[in-house]
Structure 1
C-alpha cells in the first residue's frame, strides 16, 4: 500500500509527535460523567498515536451515536460524527479513497453490536484496513440506562424491568467468525495495556477490533468497574497461540463466559498478519486504481471516471 500521498499532509521524517497535539483547543476537557471508563479510551488513544507516528492531520476518527460519539470532540484530528451504527461504512469509504490516511472508528456496544451489527460483521469479513474501538459498558448510557446487546442475562433496566431474557452477544467470537484479522479486549482499569493494544491495532494492516470494557457508574450499577482483570498474555494459567484460529476461538469462548462470572480476561486473542486488506485485494484485481482516489480532488489534470468506465459490462 502506498503511503506517499496524503490529501492532508504528512509528518516530516523523524518528527517527534507529542500526545498533546491530539488535545483540541476548542473543547479540550471531556464532559463524561465522573468515573466513566470513556476517559480511559481517550487517554489510551492519545498515548497510542505518537507511538504509531501519526499526526492529527494524518488521522480520521469516525464515531457513532452515544456517549462514545463524543470521542472525536475531545480528540484533535479530522473527524466525522455519524448517525447511530453507521461509523464503519463512512470509515471504509474514507480509507478506500485515501489509503494513506489512518482511519479509526469508534462506537458503543449498542451502536456497534446492535444497530450497526451488520456493518460490523461485513467490515470484518472484508478486512478493511482500519481500527474499530467499541466502548463496551453493557448498557445504553446516553439514553439513560436501557439494556444493550452485551447486558448480561437477567439484567434489570428501564426496558427490561423484570430482567433481560436474552443471552448477551459474544463480541470477540463474532469478530473472529466474521473475519477480523486482529481481535483484542482491554479495559479502562488497565491503561498501560490499553495503550499498547490500541497501538498494535492501529499499526495492524487489516480490520482490527478492540472490545474496550468501559465502566458506567451512572447507569450500569451492576458493572461499576471491571476488576479484577487478568492479562492472558502475562498469566501462566492461559496458553494459546494468537495466530491459531481454533485456539483463539476456544480462548475467546472461555473469556466471554468468565466475564459474567466475575473474572475479566483481557489481551490479544487473534492476529493474522498475512491476510491482505480489502483495499489491497481490490487493487490487485484492477478494480481500484493504484493512485489514491482522493488525489484527484487536488489534481486539476486528473481524469474522472464513472464505474461503468472501470468495469466491463455484464454479458
Structure 2
C-alpha cells in the first residue's frame, strides 16, 4: 500500500462505497442523463478493482461539474474548461491514481477545447468523459458546440447558423488512443465502455450522450440507439484509423438525422502513453513525485538544477 493513500489495497469493493454520506442525492433535474453517467461510473470502478481512495475525479463547470460532489473519491472542481490540465498534472505526480476528468460539451469541446486536443495528442493516461447534451444546461440553455444547425436558443433565437462540431472525429484526429460513444439510455454498454476506458493505457475519450429534459427537448432521449458492435449493418475494424474515421463520420451525421449510433470506434493498444514516453526519456522519476511529500529525506529537484545555464 502506498504511503500517499490506499493505492494497492487489494480487497473487494462495493459500489455503495462511492456514495457520499454528505449530500448523497444528486440535484440534477428529473430525467437528466447525468444520473446515468454517475451510475455507470459507480458500477465500473469496482469492476476495475479501484476503491475510492485510488480515484481522482476532476471536473469543470456546469451540470457535469457536480459529478465529483456525488462520487465519494478524491475530487477537484476546476474552473470552466480546465479539468484536463489539472487531471494531467495529478496523474504525472501520482501515476497510481485512477484519474477521471469530466466536462460538458460546452466545457469540453468549447471552452476547454484546446486542452482536449493536446491531451489527446500527448496521449495522457486517463479517462475523459464528456457529458454531451448539445446545449449549455447549467447556464440555462445557450447553444453549445454540438448543438445542431438551426437549433434555437437564447443566444441563437433565429437558429444556429453553424454546423455542429464532430467530437469523435476531432478526438481521433487529435490523437486519442481510445474513442467511444455511449448514451444514458444504454446503461449496460455505458458501464462496459467506462471499464474499458479506465483499463486502457493512454488517453481514453468517451462521448456520453446525456439528454437534457429542461433546456434541450429537441434531443429527446437519444432513442432508439444502435450498438455498432452488435448490429449486422456495421462492420469496421476499430484498430484501423481510416475505417474508424469513416464510421465516426457516419455516426456523427446520423445523430442529427434521428439515428443514434453508439459503441467503440477506435482503440490503439500499441501507442505508448505520455507517462511511458517521459519515462523513456528519463524525465519522470521511478518514485512518484507525490510520495516526496511524505518523505522528509527526499531531495527536491528544481528547474534551475535540471537545465544548463544559458550563456
Q: Shorter-chain-normalised TM-score: which range?
A: over 0.9
- Choose from 7, 12, 15 the match for 2:9: 12
SS in 1 for 2:208: strand
Partners of 1:6 and 1:58 within 8 A in 2: no
1:225 aligns with 2:221: yes
Task: Find runs of 4+ consecutive structure 1 residues off by over 3 angstroms.
Answer: 311-315
Paired with 1:209 and 1:237, the residues of 2 have a C-alpha distance of: 24
2:45 is matched with: 49
CA drift at 1:307: 1.7
- Choose from 154, 157, 160 the match for 1:164: 160
| Offset from partner CA, 1:236-283 (integer Å, 9 cap, x none) | 100000001111000000000000000000000000001111111111
CA drift at 1:288: 1.8
**Where in structure 2 are the equivalents of 1:181-200 lying within 5 Å?**
181-200=177-196
1:267 is matched with: 263
Give the aligned CA root-mean-square deviation in angstroms.
1.1
SS in 2 for 1:42: helix
Paired with 2:214 and 2:150, the residues of 1 have a C-alpha distance of: 19
| Offset from partner CA, 1:50-102 (integer Å, 9 cap, x none) | 11100000000000000000000000100000000000000000000000111
- Choose from 285, 291, 312 the match for 2:287: 291
- Choose from 223, 238, 242 the match for 1:242: 238
Partners of 2:7 and 2:96 within 8 A in 1: no
SS in 1 for 2:110: helix
Partners of 1:109 and 1:150 within 8 A in 2: yes
1:138 aligns with 2:134: yes
Paired with 2:107 and 2:83, the residues of 1 have a C-alpha distance of: 9
- Choose from 121, 124, 129 the match for 2:125: 129
| Offset from partner CA, 1:6-53 (integer Å, 9 cap, x none) | 62122533x110000100000110010000000000000000001110
Partners of 2:141 and 2:216 within 8 A in 1: yes
Partners of 1:287 and 1:311 within 8 A in 2: no
Partners of 2:131 and 2:209 within 8 A in 1: yes
Partners of 1:36 and 1:216 within 8 A in 2: yes
Paired with 1:186 and 1:314, the residues of 2 have a C-alpha distance of: 51
Partners of 1:6 and 1:100 within 8 A in 2: no
CA drift at 1:5: 4.2
2:210 is matched with: 214
Runs of at least 5 residues in structure 2 that lack an aligned partner in the other structure: none
Paired with 1:207 and 1:157, the residues of 2 have a C-alpha distance of: 33
Runs of at least 5 residues in structure 1 that lack an aligned partner in the other structure: none
2:299 is matched with: 303
1:105 aligns with 2:105: no
Q: Residue 6 and residue 59 in structure 1: after superposition, are their counterparts in 2 closer, same or farther (change >3 A)?
A: farther
1:152 aligns with 2:130: no
User: TM-score when scaled to structure 1?
Assistant: 0.97
| Offset from partner CA, 1:130-183 (integer Å, 9 cap, x none) | 000000000000001000000000000000000000000000000000000000
Q: Residue 6 and residue 155 in structure 1: after superposition, are their counterparts in 2 closer, same or farther (change >3 A)?
A: farther
| Offset from partner CA, 1:222-248 (integer Å, 9 cap, x none) | 012100100000001000000011110
User: TM-score when scaled to structure 2?
Assistant: 0.98
Paired with 2:82 and 2:292, the residues of 1 have a C-alpha distance of: 26
CA drift at 1:205: 0.4
